[in-house]
Chain A
């Protein structure tokens, strides 16, 4: 006969939350904000090839913090879900809210039933058009989903960064201003992040179907100095 020790559900959830939070806090944060013409996502990332921000679909982007292998699998699943849904129905039927809900269900299931909770936080950003609004959905490690009206911060230091960004950016500005505020908020007062350690991508209408684009170091430098 095997022995099972009783663990109160409150205790179990507390332990699991602590475990996930610790994992997430080890990595750097990401800030995503709506600016006057689109959505900008800024991550502190020393790697130039292991991306934290990625294109999901024509008007949908993904950002993840925490364990790379875990959020990258979710990123791949997101691309597959979007391309599969667009193939089955139409490109306009691919909606970020549905994807964010699937992420929330999966992350939530892993939190309460998985062998260990996922140590990730996910952002699904959608650029609006005449059919849909511009949206930022944040999915936390325990599966809660929130619809952030103006900007969202993922990662361990989220509350501090949130406070710094909210203090400087009170309403959506242009890309250069929003990017500067975002980088300043990520860095804090006593630190500067070199441009080579920034991963920046935007969702913006530029006349073609796909709206996602990565900004090069040169483009980021220019925007920050302008």
Chain B
């Protein structure tokens, strides 16, 4: 690639997607030919931030991979998760990460969280033009202007909706959603939100064949992240293992029944 210079009237501005199109860096989106997918990711708001928990399994006709990362930091204060086609999802995350950083470097100012959320809408729209619902992301982060955690979910047409409580994406959503609906309170603290997120994911992994629950044999556990005023934080393997061991031990003790306390 040569030096990309534009005349003022053709300038793509600080948007990386528009620049990439103007420079011909991106081809047309490929059709999703049954590539590995399926997921569960949940996001939960708490007082002081957001929690995200996501499974690690990529599923085709069989389990294609057990340690996929479906949650990534989009930047220091934003987490992005994907469900759907792995190939397109990874590209989607890359595009989001690059775009937010590109904007910041071009303008010397970071995008607002709402700006980031809206920016993804047309990308989803275009991604899903030929094959609906190929990739659906989930965006959660710390809004530095309004000083609160915020969650944005999307529909297949690119619609962007802010959620005040929690959001789920992927094939295990119905099961995760049930746990969240019963367990969510507006005054959750960080520890309680992490526990609820882990529980919701455990439920999804328990019921949805395409969602990987905790893998005690290989010691692979769902990703757990928080975003608060100090930024994106990913829990260590030991920390996530503890969360899922506790749930699994309780379930073993109760003979696999969730029980009246939801736990």
Contacts and interface: CB of A to CB of B under 8 A. Distances in A.
A143 to B, nearest CB: 12
B106 A76 contact: yes
A55 B105 contact: yes
A84 B20 contact: yes
Best-surrounded residue of B4, B5, B105 (most CB of chain A within 10 A): B105
A84 B25 CA distance: 7
A145 to B, nearest CB: 14
B105 A87 contact: no
A101 to B, nearest CB: 9
A81 B108 contact: no
A56 B105 contact: yes
A87 B25 contact: yes
A84 B3 contact: no
A79 B5 contact: no
Contact of B108 (A51, A56, A80): A51
A87 B5 contact: no
A79 B3 contact: no
Nearest to A50: B108
Interface residues of A, number: 22
B108 A54 contact: yes
B94 interface: yes
Contacts, number: 50
Interface in A76-130: 76-81, 83-88, 102-103, 105-106
Interface residues of B, number: 17
A87 B20 contact: yes
A78 B19 CA distance: 13
Contacts of A105: 3
Interface in A14-62: 49, 51, 54-56
Contacts of B94: 87
A73 interface: yes
A103 to B, nearest CB: 7
B14 to A, nearest CB: 9
Contacts of A87: 16, 20, 25, 94, 98
B230 to A, nearest CB: 14
Interface in B78-99: 94, 98
B98 A79 contact: no
Contacts of A80: 4, 19, 23, 102
B4 A81 contact: yes
Contacts of B16: 83, 87
Given A83-B16, A83-B98, A88 B1 contact: yes
A74 to B, nearest CB: 8
A103 B25 contact: no
Contact of B102 (A49, A73, A77, A83): A83
A81 B106 contact: no
Contacts of A73: 5
A104 B5 CA distance: 14
Interface in A114-166: none
Best-surrounded residue of A54, A78, A79, A105 (most CB of chain B within 10 A): A79
B111 to A, nearest CB: 15
B95 to A, nearest CB: 8
A102 B2 contact: yes
A54 B19 contact: no
Nearest to A83: B102
24 contacts: A49-B108, A54-B105, A54-B108, A55-B105, A77-B3, A79-B102, A79-B105, A79-B106, A80-B4, A80-B102, A81-B3, A81-B4, A83-B16, A83-B98, A83-B105, A84-B19, A85-B1, A87-B16, A87-B20, A87-B98, A88-B1, A102-B3, A105-B3, A106-B5
Interface of B: 1-5, 16, 19-20, 23, 25, 94, 98, 101-102, 105-106, 108
Interface of A: 49, 51, 54-56, 73, 76-81, 83-88, 102-103, 105-106
Given A51-B108, A79-B106, 18 more contacts: A49-B108, A54-B105, A55-B105, A56-B105, A73-B5, A77-B4, A80-B4, A80-B19, A80-B23, A80-B102, A81-B2, A81-B3, A83-B102, A84-B19, A87-B20, A87-B94, A88-B25, A106-B3
